[in-house]
Amino acid sequence: MSTTSIIRSIRNIMRKDEGVDGDAQRISQMVWMLFMKIFADKEEEWKISRKEYKSPIPEKLKWQKWAADENGLTGDELIIFINEELFPILKTIEPTDTDQSVIIKSVFNDTYNYMKSGNLFRQVINEINKIDFSKNNKDRHVFNDIYETILKELQSAGSSGEYYTPRAVTQFMVDMINPQIGESILDPACGTGGFLTCSLVNLSKQKDFDETSLIVQNSIRGIEKKPLPHLLCTTNLMLHGIEKPAITKGNLLSVKYDSWENTDLVNIVLSNPPFGGQEEDGTEKNFPEEFRTKETADLFLALIIKILKKNGRAAVVLPDNSLFGEGVKMRIKEELLTKCNLHTIIRLPNGVFNPYTGIKTNLLFFEKGKPTKEIWYYEMPYPNGIKNFSSSRPVDIKHFDDIKKWWLERKENEYAWKVSLEEIKQRDFNLDIKNANVFEEESLYSTEELLVILDSSFQKSIILLDEFKKALL
């Protein structure tokens, strides 16, 4: 049976359970159970490769003891065991810095069992046991398929300003940044860990790569505040060879801006921070007064500039409305251009982030340590025969081939142009600069784009009114 069929079977079984209310609970239920199976398979590897390995999970709670036997615990006995033994113990396990108990604790802190039928629960377990996640088994890589399926089902995330980055965009950004062995790599809003796993794949192609080395194991870092993406990221990194994923559950924006020490800084930041969202009241007070705003994307951009080491590199996804704006937006862009060399902005076409949003997005590439002198822009066209990207016709890594070729040559053409720092200053640090090499066609905006444009216009109107009031006083 294929993995797709197994996942379909699991989904159908869970739909029969009265305790699982909707897709969100079903996905969460499936993911923590998959995590337990994957962790069990990884432990078998660690027992062989690490003689000193000691499992943080009590013997009776290990997957092999209660789940592996298809004729094992079931019915009311199984549900009682899950609710009264497994979860209470794993939620309160004492974490240490020396073993995987930290992972177990972080995973189960915000995880719940929603299923009420022990018989249906047993059926799900038996389906999961058909997948072998051990190192030398091809099923190890099917989690990517499972992962992609789950992401497609998380379409509601778009309503809260969270847009899962298409794999092609992630790969392109990682390819251009080209992380090297020994460099620290951080995604401060890592979601399900796409940038981090893609970076590991990039590292694995290098000559001296050894996934068991501490240099590699300690180079990957992420922060995610929501339980389900955090669990997905942790699980995916484990399958990519990271034994104790350094994925912190929390909001990096809640850390005091001035508390960052040199030892905390990183070589590389790869990120698609949530945009279109607002932070809780008081979060902005962690930042210097000139950067205080509740807009999530702006705060993350200010933070990324701060946490990069000298000569550190970053690739960040930002919406169009982050490129222009007055007040705080302008000051953050001035900070970016003063402390970093913003050498490239790739302007993506509509639909790249479908089905989550039709808002146009941009990929910003910059290095810290030298100020910006000029910015190269490249406006990515639609491929031949495609008028818009969609969930059924998504962007593919091959669609970036022309940009990759241009990246090395840096010549102006119908899609590429450069703008000097002086011109940007004259524009009050407005980075939303159109392609001067082509005539602008009549623009057809989506509802979301129009709302963003209107919001920006209202903001500008408010600022102008304030200036008039001050002038009259």
How far is it, in rounded angstroms, from Cα 274 to Cα 286?
18
Position with higher pLDDT, 155 vs 472: 472
What mean pLDDT do residues 54-68 have?
93
pLDDT in tens, 449-469: 667 667 666 666 666 666 566
Position with higher pLDDT, 393 vs 140: 393
User: Do the Cβ atoms of 195 and 423 come closer than 8 Å?
Assistant: no
pLDDT at 157: 41
What mean pLDDT do residues 323-350 have?
94
- Tell me: pLDDT of 99 over 90: no
What mean pLDDT do residues 147-171 have?
66
> H or E segment at 44?
helix 23-49
Of the listed ranges 4-13, 89-98, 139-148, 270-279, the one predicted with least confidence = 139-148
pLDDT at 161: 45
Per-residue pLDDT band for 445 (boundaries 50, 70, 90) equals: low
The structure tokens 């604790």 sit at 105
Amino acid at 281: D
Tell me if residue 417 falls in helix, strand or coil.
Answer: strand
Position with higher pLDDT, 64 vs 145: 64
pLDDT at 73: 95
What mean pLDDT do residues 370-381 have?
96
- Tell me: pLDDT of 141 over 80: no
CB within 8 A of 187, min separation 6: which ones? 193, 195, 196, 221, 222, 223, 269, 270, 271
Residue 219 DSSP one-character state: T
What mean pLDDT do residues 215-229 have?
91
Question: What is the pLDDT of the chain when averaged over all its residues?
Answer: 86
- The pTM assigned to this predicted structure is 0.85
The structure tokens 């992420």 sit at 222
Of 108, 125, 153, nearest in space to 17 by CA: 125
